[in-house]
């Protein structure tokens, strides 16, 4: 599903006039249905690695070979059109924070991926409603604007978008950090279901117990150093 080879990301701090290495020498392979957990201290580059895999950041060196229905695609070298295509059909990304459009109800924000995929509006909204309630969003908030939500409430909407239309590869950046225990339990159940469906996942988790038993391998990042363990 995914093969990463000697991946590196450096940032140049213009104000300080020096270069900082976020991570370097990262290599791993990921099969369909496998879960790779990223570990390491703050500042080791875990979130930066996810952003490079999603191509929010362009890597400084290395390759990111994604297996698609049209053959392998190196996301490290892909153009913007190819990246957008990969995000639409192959790579999902659950960020830590949702930045919703103003004056759009939570229910509609959650249902957008299904609407974009061509699902009838009534069915898309019904499925979004069911999942948001499962994640613990209160009924009275379904028609409210997420711009006024707490961090945990926003994250429930964010996760609903990902879970309603899962893609073959899912990147997870501390998706349960701001959630209550009930919502974390629901997320864990959904991740189990995705794993059984063959979705490959790479994630960073604030609460390790949320993914206990799901993890196939771990990749530990250290500040300016990288170590791998199976």
pLDDT, one tens digit per residue, over 213-222 is 999 999 999 8
The secondary element (H helix, E strand) that includes residue 151 is helix 151-164
Cβ-contact 161, 170 below 8 angstroms = no
- Domains assigned to the chain: 1-90+167-230 (3.40.50.300), 96-165 (no CATH)
pLDDT, one tens digit per residue, over 157-189 is 999 999 999 999 999 999 888 888 999 999 999
Nearest to residue 201, comparing CAs of 63, 94, 44?
94
pLDDT on residue 43: 83
Nearest to residue 211, comparing CAs of 230, 228, 195?
195
How far lies 183's CA from each of 54, 132, 134, 159, 213, in Å? 25, 10, 8, 10, 18
| Residue 214 burial (CB count, 10 A) | 17
- Give the mean model confidence (pLDDT) for residues 101-125: 91
**Tokens matching residue 186:** 């629901």
Cβ-contact 203, 171 below 8 angstroms = yes
The bridge status of strand 217-222 relative to strand 35-39 is: parallel
4, β-bridge pairs: 28, 64
pLDDT, one tens digit per residue, over 21-58 is 899 999 999 999 999 999 988 888 999 999 999 999 99
> To which residue do tokens 């790779």 refer?
36
Reported confidence tier of residue 228, pLDDT bands at 50, 70, 90: very low
């Amino acid at each position: 599903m995914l093969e990463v080879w000697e991946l590196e990301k450096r940032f140049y701090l213009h104000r300080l006039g020096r270069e900082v290495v976020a991570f370097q020498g990262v290599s791993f392979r990921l099969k369909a249905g496998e879960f790779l957990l990223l570990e390491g201290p703050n500042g080791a580059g875990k979130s930066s690695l996810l952003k490079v895999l999603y191509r929010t950041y362009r890597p400084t060196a290395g390759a990111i070979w994604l297996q698609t229905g049209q053959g392998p695609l190196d996301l490290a070298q892909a153009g913007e059109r190819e990246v957008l295509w990969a995000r639409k059909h192959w790579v999902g990304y659950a960020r830590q924070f949702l930045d919703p459009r103003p004056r759009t109800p939570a229910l509609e924000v959650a249902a957008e991926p299904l609407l974009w995929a061509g699902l009838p509006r009534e069915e898309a909204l019904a499925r979004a409603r069911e999942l948001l309630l499962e994640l613990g969003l209160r009924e009275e908030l379904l028609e409210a604007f997420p711009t006024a939500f707490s961090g945990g409430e926003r994250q429930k909407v964010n996760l609903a978008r990902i879970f309603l239309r899962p893609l073959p590869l899912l990147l997870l950046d501390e998706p349960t950090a701001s959630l209550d225990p009930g919502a974390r339990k629901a997320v864990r159940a959904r991740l189990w279901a995705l794993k059984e469906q063959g979705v490959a996942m790479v994630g960073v988790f604030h609460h390790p117990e949320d993914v206990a038993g799901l993890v196939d391998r771990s990749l530990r990042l250290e500040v300016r150093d990288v170590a791998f363990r199976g």
